[in-house]
Chain A
């Protein structure tokens, strides 16, 4: 990697220090419509040939004003909107909101409800990581992982559809519990899926993890140092890849995660490969949590009684859950009426894209694509 050296260009003469050759920088717009920005993010790049000198993210192309809408909706009407805030992991997002409301209103969730939430969220985490795997492979030019990832996601989607009736935006987690109990035979199908899926992860690893081209494309590319990651409040797999063992499921437990036994995989360098491998390992851990949840699933109610005219007392609460992309936060302010005064949403992708200009200078444009994909950012979480 010794030729990685970043060539300085004299701003006056326009010559590079290396060759004495006159060169010129140029600006290029990556997005809002670009195959690898995963939605409508726009990166304004200052380039010197293939090298990126500076990167300026422009967001807001998907700013749908969810926060404003929520201020004029009753508490129960907000859960479907929450799904649209984070469509790849809408279970976690619904949970995030309900957790906040339950804490303010002191609603007690039955144990079965808590277990079902864990079960569904972990399945959803696997589904989300599969989308990551798919798009990450695609952005590196390997098309086949894309189709394999989406193929296996379909099994999980079927399970969700059976339970909640939707394929993508489930609206399953409600205030006080979950919307429905499991359908007949769900546990069996779910365990069957886990048995099928664990060896499949090895297949993915065969396809990518130790592929020499994949390694040269990802190792030591886009290193996000420990301090920078904390300073920018990076979260989830990105933070863990930088070597910080921080997982809200363990460090700020919510629901009944304290009853589960799981590992928190971390990386060492904070490079693109670490972010990839952390997610692969997390899929295995999630499989184990799903198994534990099914084996320990208690009998009883799945939802506490919540009146249709639900009014929490005045108060405010900041809740966080661990989504597939990292820490998701909601700041709910209630003034005692049936609508919240303020609902602020915080997505991990927001901070990751904020940190992007720090990593960018000196990398190649192909690396930028890999780094962006390794953050696994989705735009509604950024733009809301």
Chain B
């Protein structure tokens, strides 16, 4: 029987060296993956028959100032297991491999990642702007410290 507590040890066993466990508050099953190994890990998770991670719920970029993070939240609709997968990227020239052939749901999230955070997504089938206007030329607005033409910061009281 596959239980939530077995998820992380099982992955650590399969990918020793490239994957490490993350301690987060509040406690949850989370792993930190090397950017280079991201496709291998997700291919393994997708095909994995024990936990059956079939549902990519969310893919978010985070600007933690000293580094960028890409966070994947995946779930299983059969075994009800959850897993948080994190990748840390350098703030300059961040690059990550696309997983949208593994989880189709990743498609637009990755486009968003590229336009809002400036993370280059490799081998993505359709890399156009998603949310921003077609003639946008002011950089990546979700980065911390970004400013633009029409951007007013709320004054502190």
Contacts and interface: CB of A to CB of B under 8 A. Distances in A.
Interface in A306-337: 313-318, 320, 327, 329, 331, 333
B24 A344 contact: no
B153 A72 contact: yes
Nearest to A230: B54
A313 B25 contact: yes
B130 A59 contact: yes
B64 A230 contact: no
B157 to A, nearest CB: 10
Interface of A: 59-60, 63, 65, 67-68, 71-73, 103-104, 106, 228, 230-233, 244, 246, 251-252, 313-318, 320, 327, 329, 331, 333, 341-342, 344, 346, 350-351, 354-355, 383-384
Contacts of B133: 60
Interface residues of B, number: 34
B56 interface: yes
B89 interface: no
Interface stretch (B5-13, B34-42, B104-112): B104-112
Contacts of B25: 104, 313-316
Given A63-B131, A103-B26, A314-B25, A344 B154 contact: no
B71 to A, nearest CB: 7
B44 interface: no
Interface of B: 24-26, 28, 54-58, 60-64, 71, 73, 77, 80, 84, 103-105, 107-108, 129-133, 141-142, 144, 153-154
Contacts of A252: 80
A383 B131 contact: yes
Contacts of A333: 62
- The B contact surface, by secondary structure, is loop
A228 B58 CA distance: 17
Contacts, number: 86
Given A103-B26, A232-B104, A383-B131, A329 B57 contact: yes
Given A231-B103, A344-B58, 7 more contacts: A60-B131, A60-B132, A73-B154, A317-B26, A344-B61, A346-B57, A354-B107
A331 B80 contact: no
Contacts of A355: 104
B130 A60 contact: yes
Contacts of B141: 65, 68
A230 B154 CA distance: 40
Nearest to A106: B26
Contacts of B63: 342
A246 B144 CA distance: 37
Contacts of B26: 103-104, 106, 315, 317
A233 B55 contact: yes
15 contacts: A68-B142, A103-B26, A230-B54, A230-B55, A233-B105, A313-B25, A315-B25, A316-B24, A316-B25, A317-B26, A318-B57, A351-B105, A354-B105, A354-B107, A384-B131
Nearest to A57: B108
A104 B26 CA distance: 6
Contacts of A230: 54-55, 77
Contact of B60 (A246, A313, A331, A354): A331
Contacts of B108: 350, 354
Contacts of A354: 104-105, 107-108
Contacts of A68: 141-142
Nearest to A317: B26
Contacts of A233: 55-57, 103, 105
